[in-house]
Each structure stands twice: as structure tokens, then as C-alpha cells.
Amino acid sequence: MRDGLAMQARSQPAVPFGCPTQERLSRRHFLASCAAGAATLWVGGTLARRVLAATKRTNLKEAMYWRSLPGGKTQCLLCPNQCVRGPGEDGLCHARGNRNGRYYSLVYGIPCVIALDEVEKCPLNHFQVQGKAFSLATAGCNLTCKYCQNWQFSQVGPDEVPRAYDLSPEAAVAKAIEQRAGAIAYFYTEPVVYYEYMLATAMLARRRNLKNVMVTAGYISPEPFKNVLPYIDAVAFGLKGWNEKFYQEYIGCELKYIKESMQLLAQMPEVWWEVVVLIVPSLNDRMDEIAAMAKWLRDVAGPERPLHFTRFRPEYRLKTLPMTPAATLTRAREVAIQQGLKYVYVGNLPGHEGGNTYCPQCGKVVLERVLFTVVKKHMSFGNCIACGYKIAGVWQ
Ligand code: SF4
Ligand SMILES: [Zn+2]
């Protein structure tokens, strides 16, 4: 891992890693943006004591959700890809594989990213914890997004990432507590593919009063999703767009499975979740699709479900596309609000008014943000100070 590179979430808002220069920023916004970047850089470079040699980066742990097939083959049932593999072969996600006729997680306890982040970076604007989130990610992903921000570790196996660390679930929880984190975030790559590591860590974290945050694209079979959610406090759900063809051509999966995961989440009121859509110019930025997406979300998950539109930055195989114009993000936000959603955000665009939380009743700003940091609060115990309206979310 090149230090710092790890800090941009896979298909998440292309977080301005250093100090943003593309936008005109006020001095206050500029300094806060730089500080946010610097804070996360520190941990990835120094936290883990033991960096694993490249030859020792596969750590076998028998996988959950698979079945045996004739001839020593196995079928993974964790996600809709349902990979069938022979002995010695790895799944499409690079994080799981058949070894001598049994199926294993290859990345258990060997994250390639360790960081300390604001929980807003996930992004979660309505879920507060005491302290920061201790973020983990391993190699691999079950999607093949052509604009992945973290392709150096999401599109490879554990022996191909630039760096990996020895960090058992017990050690991860201990480190999170040592760092005074309030949560563990399964972040940066897709946690579905390191399901066993996430589940074990989340169960231990829950016992130590840490929250668990899952940052996922939701491409997972219903049963494993249902079985991990009781240990998850919040989900940042990376929705890629609202077009089946786009999903198949640019993401490598089908939108129908993603909708099923959101429908499942909508039936679990104990899990807080927010939806984030990275808007890619010319690919998923049609306003009729955005309106249909917002309407569906309102009908399925209610008008208080937060929706974030974030800015694309040219990356990986889509380097020729421009950054998302600010006007497109502004328009997308307006369209989603017109569909009845009460909390719609613009992300990865410091200084944009859509980064703040507004009271749906009186319109006042209740949480003013600079990038990922709340700089002013006009809310008390989750209620708007001006009019008393209860702002949806999980508040400290
Ligand atoms: S989790 Fe990985 S190995 Fe399992 S079905 Fe999905 S892509 Fe294949
Ligand atoms: Zn109000």
C-alpha cells in the first residue's frame, strides 16, 4: 500500500486526499480539508506493528457459505456471483479460494488498510459515535467497478497488495480501544469478501461497546447479510446508479440484487443506513434516473433516509472522463429533494451547501460541516434547536 492511497474509499466519494485545489475554497474550508487528510494519513503508516512479508500474506480460515461439488470443486454462496472453483483456484473476488476441495477465506486477519477516520467519511451524516472510526480493509472485491478508487487493493489478492498487516480480530478491537475509537469501520474495500474477519471482529467489538460500521455496495446473498446485520450498527450503502445496463457494464453485477439488499435493510430498523451515489459524468448522471432512484428510496426506506451524491474523480479505467461538475451534483440534490427525500447531501465538494444537514421543518442548518467535520451544531439531543423537529439518526 502506498501510504495515503488507502484513504480513498472504493467507489466512494473520491475524497480529496491532500489539500483540494480544484475548487475555490474559503481559507477555513481549505485548512479544515487539509487537516482531515493529514489525520487519516498518520494511522495507516504507523499503527500496525507487524508488516507481513509478501510470501506470508495468505491466511486461510475456513469460509462460511459454500458447498462441495463433485470432483473436489466448491461453490461459494456468499454473494450472487456463486463462484464454482476447483482445487487451487480463487474466487472472482481474490479473497476466497478452494484449497484441496474445501473453501477458505484467504484474508482473515490480514488487512491491507488500517486507518482512523471521521465516521462522516464513510459517509454517515446521521450517525454519531464517541471518537473516530478505526477502519479496516483487506484485499479483494466481488465487483469490478471501472472507476474504482482503490483498485490497487480491491482488484487483487492478498499476496499482490503493496502491504499487509497481521491483525487478528482481537488485536483489531484492542487497537481500536487503544486509539480511543468509538467504532470499527469495515471500509475501503468490500467487506462482503472478508465476511468471516468482519463478523468475528464485529462480535468482539460489540462486547467492548464499540459500534460497527459496514461500508458496502450490498452485493451479498440475503442469508449472510441477514446474519451479520445484528452486529452492525450502521451501513453506508454504495449505490452505483439506477440503470441495469450501467451496473452490468461498469460495475460487474446486477442492480436487482442491490435493490434486494436495500429492501432487506429497510426491514431492519435497528440498523441505521445511508445511501451514497458517486455521480459519474455521462454514465449515471441522467436526472430521470436519479428521480426514479430517489422515489424508490423514499417508497422503500422512507423520506428520512439520507442520500449522498458525491463527486467522481477520474480513476482506474475511466481516467478520460472529467470530474463531476458541481452543477450536476447540485441538480441531483434538487431532484431527489423534489421526490420527497428530506436529507440529501452533496459530498466530496468542500464548501458546497449540500454538505450541511438542514432541518426539514424550519430549514435552518442543524449541522454545519467542513468536509467531514461538524463545525457548528444547532441541534440538541437530536432535535432542531430552532423548532424542535426530531432529526432522524443515531445521535450521541
Ligand atoms: S464472495 Fe467472492 S468467491 Fe464468493 S461468490 Fe462472491 S466473488 Fe465468488
Ligand atoms: Zn427546525
Domain ranges of the chain: 5-51+109-354, 60-105
Examine the pLDDT at 301 and tell me if it is beyond 70.
yes
Is the beta carbon of 78 within 6 A of some atom in ligand 1? yes
Residue among 77, 81, 98 whose CB has most ligand 1 atoms within 8 A, to mutate: 81
Any ligand 1 atom below 6 A from CB of 213: no
Top-confidence residue, 12 or 356: 356
Nearest CA to 218 out of 274, 270, 172 is that of 274
The closest of 149, 141, 140 to 315, measured between CA atoms, is 149
Q: How far apart are CA 278 and CA 215, in angstroms?
A: 14
Q: Tell me which range, 1-5, 64-68, 155-159, is most confidently predicted by mean pLDDT.
A: 64-68
Indicate whether 128 pLDDT > 70: yes
Mean pLDDT for all residues in the chain: 88
Ligand 1 close to Cβ of residue 217 (< 6 A): no
**CA 220–ligand 1 middle distance (angstroms):** 9
What's the average model confidence in pLDDT over 115-127? 96
pLDDT at 195: 98
Looking at all shown ligands, the one closest to residue 194's CA atom is 1
Kindly state the average pLDDT of the residues 4-30.
Answer: 31
**Pocket-testing residue among 92, 155, 228, 257, ligand 1, by greatest number of atoms within 8 A of Cβ:** 92
Q: Which residue has the higher pLDDT, 28 or 97?
A: 97
Q: What mean pLDDT do residues 330-335 have? A: 98
Residue 376's H or E segment, with its range, is strand 373-377
pTM of the model: 0.88
Ligand 1 centroid vs 16 CA: distance in angstroms?
31
pLDDT digits (tens, 9 = 90+) for 22-78: 233 333 333 333 333 333 433 444 555 467 766 666 789 999 999 999 999 999 999
**What does the buried/exposed string (b/e) look like for 20-46 if buried means 16 or more CB atoms within 10 Å of the residue's CB?**
beebebeeebbebbeebbebbbebbee
Q: Is residue 92 lining ligand 1, measured as CB closer than 6 Å?
A: yes
Kindly report which listed range (179-188, 201-210, 369-378) carries the lowest average pLDDT score.
369-378
Report the pLDDT value the prediction gives residue 317, as an integer from 0 to 100: 81
Cell of 174: 484492542
Please give the radius of gyration of the chain, using alpha carbons only, rounded to the nearest integer.
20
Q: Mean pLDDT, to the nearest integer, of 278-306? A: 97
Asked whether 360 lines ligand 1 (CB < 6 A), one says no
Amino acid 54: pLDDT: 63
> Is residue 191 in contact with ligand 1, taking CB distance under 6 Å?
no
Which architecture characterizes domain 5-51+109-354 according to CATH? Alpha-Beta Barrel (3.20)
Atom of ligand 1 nearest to the CA of 82: 5
Higher-pLDDT residue of 85, 32: 85
CA 387 – CA 95 distance, rounded (Å): 50
- Tell me how far the alpha carbon of residue 78 lies from the centroid of ligand 1, in angstroms: 6
pLDDT at 25: 32
Q: Any idea which ligand is nearest the CA of 361?
A: 2
Contact 211, 182 (CB under 8 A): yes
Q: What is the pLDDT of residues 251-284, one digit of tens each?
A: 999 999 999 999 999 999 999 999 999 999 999 9
Band the pLDDT of 241: cuts 50, 70, 90: very high
Instruction: Report the alpha-carbon distance of residue 336 to residue 354 in Å, rounded.
Output: 12
What letter does residue 352 receive in the DSSP assignment?
-
Residue 47's pLDDT is what? 54
DSSP code per residue over 63-104: PSSEEEEGGGEEEE-SSTT--EE-TTPBPTTSSEEEETTEEE
> Which residue's CA is the closest to the ligand 1 atom numbered 3?
91
Residue 215, all three cell numbers: 461500508
